[in-house]
Structure 1
């Protein structure tokens, strides 16, 4: 082997030695501890025979690196640069030291969960115009900030953080600030990704959907709020609409739907095929099937609580988009540091553009009605919200929503000699406000008021005016509530409140031939007080929510009633990843929807709201209990829940009978016993799930023969197999739904028609003794996100509902035609229904 020259080795040795000494010296220098500024000043006084005049309190606690100089002026400059101190030379010997009025600050924002930096966090110097957002590495810096200022740091999904400017000044490196994740008090997330991104299950049994994080579900290219809820076990719609959602076998009017604290009496567009709520300003949706908190009244079947975004952002954000049915726009505009407005608007394109989606929707919506598909139909909705922070402890919110469906139709008679003009308007306008106050760290209050009005009007007149029809259903409701929350201990919270509600409903029907006129008005006032304790151990193994609601309900000059409603929700983690859940509730409601098949709104809307009178329409009361078991090991969730639900005070008019019992007006009850099962396998890239629900749903009407028979909404078996997959910005979902056919009643095979009466009557078999064929539907959807610019994000999507084009029977009933013969009427499901969308957000 050839040896290296001695000279070369010596050079290498010298270089390595120099590098070592430089590195060692740098390490020792940077590792030097900081010294108090008072100690450094005392050293300078001794060394240079000078005097510094200062207040000890101003300099106490201030430290800095030792200056790398032996000169007095350089040392003074070093102190001024490294500390919030201003040094003024009074003479050759005397100096005055004061705290600066303004300082430079910097910081690095992290999350306290994984210590990741948080880019895009808003950093604001309170009581000034100074603000910015953190850089990609989570850092920020300001010059000339008032020394006594307070700095607020906020980001969506994190609790706001407040810190004095002095604590951020002259730190090297910059101070690290850890933001805490924003969770609701005492609500532990059991499952973060439940079926898809943005769905979470909580310890109290509720399920929450966060639209900002929402992934994709089969058949949906946009997060339609009420359609998405039907992906959960136990929540279905027997007629494929969002305005007729059945939670554990209950009717749609037994669901409480709340938007920003306002009870809604209209929830759908296009006669129930599309949700009426814009999902892009809706922050979260909470779905409760049982164990409801005592703060909620009404809704014996379930609760859907929709809340719009509630925090003020310092910069404008928004978006817009369109699909084959409608176009929309939304946004939030900051008007001041503590003031902002939100808005959203949507309008259909159905009155000037006919698309394949509109054609399919029309065929379903207008079947079995007086309306033909060649009509002038459109819908729109808009919302507005004012957000005003009086200060950091008191917040005012004002909300407005307006929903409208408008249909005009012109048809000729079969002989072409007369024409009929039909119109139908469905309008909802609601507004409300709230004041949220944080009086201490442990005591919060919230005051809410709202007014809502719903009107459904139908008008039909022939060109010759020989036949005229006018129908009107009007609901007016106002409510006020005060809610208090007191944190008795870190693990115990006590909620109390009072709510007053006044509901007035009017129903009018006028027909000229044969002449008929009906006008029914009523008003009910209710007073409710409630109390509730929420407890959760520090290790999150035990959660308990126990409370109750006391209701005083009065219909003016008719009846008075007092109802006590206990509520219970308990979950216990008895082993790692294994939990038991016990839920129970008593609930009541005094508003119902009568289904009038003979005098419906042009055959399109068969439901009209009405009030209980404790005679023909009692107050509906529900009792429910359930016991569940679930296993959640981050990537695998398995849950099973058995439930028992009994609802009393129902009238056949509210159940939609289409057989021998539809005109009886009898009062009875229904009892549902069932089991719900879900298994969900999930990773960062995909989620797959299988769900099964069994329902034994039976009516009991003691005065009917037989007194007990299957419920009109009984779906004995329901299966769902679905999944979604994410690859970078591409998402795809596919799902299959199967369920038993719903019950119906056929005419008697041997003697179908009773000709001994006039007019003739249909002889029916035993009520609901037959079942429709099984229901099967397959859906698919896909979306792709991409950047149009640094600040503009876009997405395209496509979906197909029922891509096998299976014609499912949703309902079958019988009626007599003009020849007194039995006519079979069948309603079928949506056929293959494509849709596409394009969206931008900024």
Structure 2
């Protein structure tokens, strides 16, 4: 019998059939987006248009909703696809063109962050640099474009932006070190991470990447460079640096292109420059680029961070001497401000490090009489010492091609020192105020792909006020030394071809120095001001072959120097100063370098009252003149070999240098020639050797320096004798080891003793004159005992949060507590006896630090 279907049942069945694709599809958890869209078209009678590549391979979790708009919203949320309704029935699907991306750039070898890496969107006018944590973030970038990430020493990496945008979080991007170019090594990293020898003969210290050095609890700009062969401090300070046998005033010290006349705190025991904002330090011992004048011994140029980050970064910390803070604040994407500040705790907190430093600066003197008995002078010392330094930098990018940088720095040392004789209750007091205030403007301009310019203008002022009150309160000594300097320099860079660059420029410098002295008893008054102006055009050609088999820099600088002294000593001089740097490949892994330079300088430091009690030197800046202090000139040539294969680096360099136009008043003589003002020069022959072996988590090195440094003074008998800084042999052995976040370092420093002059044995004291005078032997015919010091340090880094990192450290200087004699001189006591005065080195000096950075 034929069955008849009722109409309501037929309608219900048709509805079920029409909905069956959606119901069937909803039971699946994950499905391809393209297939799901086709089912939606059938179920809801709509049409979607799209590019296959935009949705190809995308899978979604099927929404549970049965409403079309809710389903579309869920698709957009899961995939980031933009869905636009064109009409009642038609829809368009597309990936967003502009997206926000972020990432963190890491070292592929050490898994360390890479701060300062350039992140550029190819095809767009967008580029930033990674912050101190290697992090970057960019908004409104084209999904179809690619990122180019590059950093010196690493292989450039190209990353599609779509890969970063689709990950949903900030991914890690690893940069591989450029190790495949070992057969053509030109730039060498040695000792510890962040110290690089450049092709122009200079050595760059990248302070943000600098690894641990023995004896340092945290980075110190001027202490760190003393690990380099040929760079040391005879009197064991961080700011009185001797480069290849020269005095500290023969170094040109620059901070953001500004000449600094003060570089240390605590009489040179502490560097005055914040290492956490200092991005790089360049050291030149020879072959200096022609844009640099002055500094006949060497150049030390410091540069703070020069790029605008996209977020606030900074840090703070303390050690047993001082506390400091620093930071960089991005105000807009084109404007940022850097700041740093440090203040000592020495005026209200006595720590082991402070006690050791004060012993070294004030109370380290051992006095013996002619019978080699220690002289007990029954003296009590009281000192109040305070130092601070502040710096700032305003960074403004007018656009990608023109950038302005305004920098300033202030350095201050204040000392109140008194000496009391406990037997007579007589007290003498000394006051000292030492400041350096400087400001400078830099403009970097790129006018085309081949032509760029750099303008540097600065003003620098140094002031030293010293006053002494003697026990009778009737005698007073006042000294003042002021330096004011203005400079304007324009440098142009023109790339003639891919292998040839031509650098030209002109530098104008005006330096005025005032020296005042006022003594009440006997009455004496001095007030001298000199002004020197220098006009210096310079030019340089830089050429390298395609494979860097041959690299050369040839330059010439012309110094036209005018002294405008009204009281005599005025002069005009024109000096031509050629510069040469040849660097060429001799064999695989082996390169040779030939360097040469002529240089001159018009500023020097004379040393007054060298033999005062405690032997604390009184140095004051002065200008060359035609009367008693000529221009200082130097000539130098060197030949070196560099071998680098895998993790082994060996270098050897022989050099010859002559310096003329020096005075016994600038060299620190402590014999009968101290105040004579004899003029002469010195000649150095030397050799520097370094071998460095690195592993995955260690670095070990051995360096040796030989110097033969002789004075020539025609009016002294004999005319040729050893230089006060003639240290023949210097040996350094050191190593570091990394255990994850724990870093360890240990080092040994050895050198032969420096020369000094002692009294004659037969007739040491001439009492026939008043006051009595010491009869000395031949100048610098005796030597101090050898110097030995062992140092160690350790640091540990850990995370306080995702953004905040912490580091703590401990260091020990002079682990063996050896009493090294740094200097020895002789004087006549009130009883007409000869006394020997020994100045000793730092004893065992511990220091600890704690820092946070973000």
Q: What band does the TM-score fall into relative to the shorter chain? A: 0.7 to 0.9
> Does the CA contact (< 8 Å) of 2:129 and 2:308 recur in 1?
no
Give the whole-Å Cα distance in 2 for the aligned partners of 1:393 and 1:129: 12
Q: Is 1:389 matched up with 2:384?
A: no
Alignment of 1:103-142 (within 5 A): 103-104=98-99
Q: Compared with structure 1, are the counterparts of its residues 314 and 511 closer, same or farther at alpha carbon in structure 2 (3 Å cutoff)?
A: same
Instruction: Tell me whether 1:441 sits opposite 2:437 in the alignment.
Output: no
- Spell out the pairing of 1:169-184 with structure 2 (5 A cutoff): none
Cα root mean square deviation, aligned:
4.3
Establish whether residue 688 from structure 1 lines up as the match of residue 715 from structure 2.
no
Once the two structures are superposed, the pairs formed by residues 528-677 of structure 1 within 5 Å of their partners are 528-556=536-564, 558-597=570-609, 604-677=616-689
Residue in 2 that maps onto 1:234: 230
Aligned length in residues: 778
Please say if 1:254 is aligned against 2:266. no
The equivalent position to 2:468 in structure 1, one of 445, 460, 465, is 460
**Correspondent of 1:335 among 307, 331, 353:** 331
Q: Partner of 2:267: helix, strand, or coil?
A: helix
In structure 2, the partner of 1:496 is 504
Question: What do the CA deviations read for 1:523-565 (whole angstroms, capped 9, x no partner)?
Answer: 0010111111112222122211111111111011511111100
Question: How far apart, in 1, do the equivalents of 2:614 and 2:526 lie?
Answer: 17
Aligned residues of 1:643 and 1:673 also touching (Cα < 8 A) = yes
Gaps of 5+ in 2: 1-31, 35-40, 59-67, 179-183, 366-376
Q: Is the 8 Å Cα contact of residues 196 and 204 (structure 2) preserved in structure 1?
A: yes
- Asked whether the equivalents of residues 694 and 718 of structure 1 are also in contact (C-alpha less than 8 Å), the reply is yes
Structure-2 residue corresponding to 1:3:
none
| 1:778-800 CA-partner distances (Å, limit 9, x unpaired) | 11111111112222111111111
Larger deviation: 151-160 or 769-778?
Answer: 151-160
> 816-825 or 114-123: which moved more?
114-123
Q: Residue 348 of structure 1 aligns with which residue?
A: 344
Correspondence for 1:314:
310
Change (3 A) 1:377 1:65: closer
Partner of 1:364: 360
Shift of 1:153: 7.7
- Counterparts of 2:266 and 2:615 in 1: how far apart (Å)? 14
Find the partner of 1:716 among 720, 728, 748.
728
Alignment match, 1:288 = 284
Aligned to 1:222: 218
Match of 1:406 among 414, 427, 431: 414
Determine which of 470, 488, 495 is the counterpart of 2:478.
470
Q: CA, structure 1 residues 716+598, in 2 after alignment: closer, same or farther (shift >3 Å)?
A: closer
The worse-fitting range, judged by mean Cα deviation, of 534-543 and 723-732 is 534-543
Per the TM alignment, residue 461 of structure 1 is displaced from its structure 2 partner at its CA by 2.5
* Structure-2 change in CA distance of 1:189 and 1:149 (3 Å): same
Change (3 A) 1:197 1:177: closer
Decide whether the 8 Å contact of 1:110 with 1:116 is kept in 2: no
1:782 aligns with 2:790: no
| Residues 528 and 51 of structure 1, relative CA distance in 2, 3 Å threshold | same
Contact 1:729 1:784 in 2 (8 A): yes
Q: Judge which range, 492-501 or 371-380, deviates more.
A: 371-380
State the alpha-carbon separation in 1 of the partners of residues 129 and 556 from structure 2.
47
Tell which deviates more after alignment, 192-201 or 681-690: 192-201
Checking the alignment, whether the CA contact within 8 Å between 2:107 and 2:113 is kept in structure 1 is no
- CA 1:372–1:243: 2 relative to 1, 3 Å: farther
1:408 Cα deviation after fit: 1.2
Cα deviation 1:340-369 (Å, max 9, x = unaligned): 111111111111111111111101101478
Query: 1:305 pairs with 297, 301, 307, which one?
Result: 301
1:481 pairs with 2:481: no
- Over 3 Å counting, the alpha-carbon distance change for 1:464 and 1:83 in structure 2 is closer
Determine the C-alpha separation between the residues in 2 that align with 1:807 and 1:368.
10
Offset of residue 130 of structure 1: 14
Residues 1:732 and 2:744 aligned together: yes
Question: Aligned residue for 1:828?
Answer: 840
Please tell me whether the aligned partners of residues 368 and 603 of structure 1 are also in contact (alpha carbons under 8 angstroms). no
- The 2-side partners of 1:547 and 1:306 are apart by 22
CA distance in 1 between partners of 2:833 and 2:164 (Å): 93
* C-alpha contact 1:363 1:373 (8 A) present in aligned 2: no
SS in 2 for 1:336: coil
Deviations along 1:586-644, whole A, 9 cap, x unmatched?
A: 00000000011369799534211000003311110000000001211131111111000
CA–CA distance in structure 2, aligned partners of residues 353 and 138 of structure 1? 39
Distance 1:581 1:260 in 2: 28
**1:509 partnered with 2:517:** yes
Unpaired segments ≥5 residues, structure 1: 1-28, 32-43, 53-58
Structure 1 residues 667 and 102 mapped into 2: Cα distance closer, same or farther (>3 Å)? same
Deviation at 1:215, TM superposition (A): 1.0
Question: Could you tell me which of 529, 533, 549 is aligned with 1:521?
Answer: 529
Q: Does 817-826 or 229-238 show the bigger shift?
A: 817-826
- Measure the CA separation in 1 of the matches of 2:619 and 2:399: 46
Q: How far is the alpha carbon of 1:515 from its aligned partner?
A: 1.1
Cα 1:418–1:298 shift into 2, 3 Å: same
Distance in 1 separating the partners of 2:142 and 2:207: 40
- Whether contact under 8 Å (1:189, 1:201) holds in the other structure is no
CA 1:180–1:479 in 2, change beyond 3 Å: closer, same or farther? farther
Report the Cα distance in structure 2 between the residues aligned to 1:132 and 1:704, rounded to whole angstroms: 59
Distance 2:104 2:800 in 1: 28
Alpha-carbon shift at residue 302 of structure 1 (Å)? 0.4
Instruction: Indicate conservation of the 8 Å contact 2:791/2:814, yes or no.
Output: yes
What is the aligned partner in structure 2 of residue 796 from structure 1?
808
Q: How does 1:28-43 map to 2 (within 5 A)?
A: none
Task: Write the deviation string for residues 209-228 of structure 1: whole angstroms up to 9, x where unpaired.
Answer: 11111111111111111111
Partner residue in 2 for 1:701: 713
1:189 touches 1:203 (CA, 8 Å); kept in 2?
no
Structure-2 residue corresponding to 1:759: 771
Query: What is the CA–CA distance in structure 1 between the aligned matches of 2:792 and 2:91, rounded to whole Å?
Result: 76
Aligned 8 A contact 1:109 1:117 in 2: no
State the Cα distance separating 1:460 from its structure 2 match.
2.1
1:230 is paired with a residue whose SS is helix
Separation (CA, whole Å) in 2 of partners of 1:383 and 1:171: 39
Output the TM-score relative to the length of structure 1: 0.83
Q: Distance in 2 between matches of 1:556 and 1:408?
A: 37
Task: Quote the residue 1:56 is aligned against.
Answer: none
Native 8 Å contact 2:243 2:298 kept in 1:
yes
The equivalent position to 1:325 in structure 2, one of 318, 321, 337, is: 321
Residue 206 of structure 1 is matched in structure 2 by: 202
Query: What is the TM-score of this pair, normalised by structure 2?
Result: 0.82
Equivalent residues of 1:204, 1:545 under 8 A apart: yes
Distance (whole Å) between structure 1 residues aligned to residue 48 and residue 816 of structure 2: 92
Check 1:154–1:313 CA distance in 2 against 1; reply closer, same or farther (3 A cut).
Answer: farther
**In the alignment, what sits opposite 1:742?**
754
Instruction: Indicate conservation of the 8 Å contact 2:562/2:571, yes or no.
Output: yes
3-state SS, counterpart of residue 654 of structure 1: coil
Residue 494 of structure 1 deviates from its aligned partner by 1.2
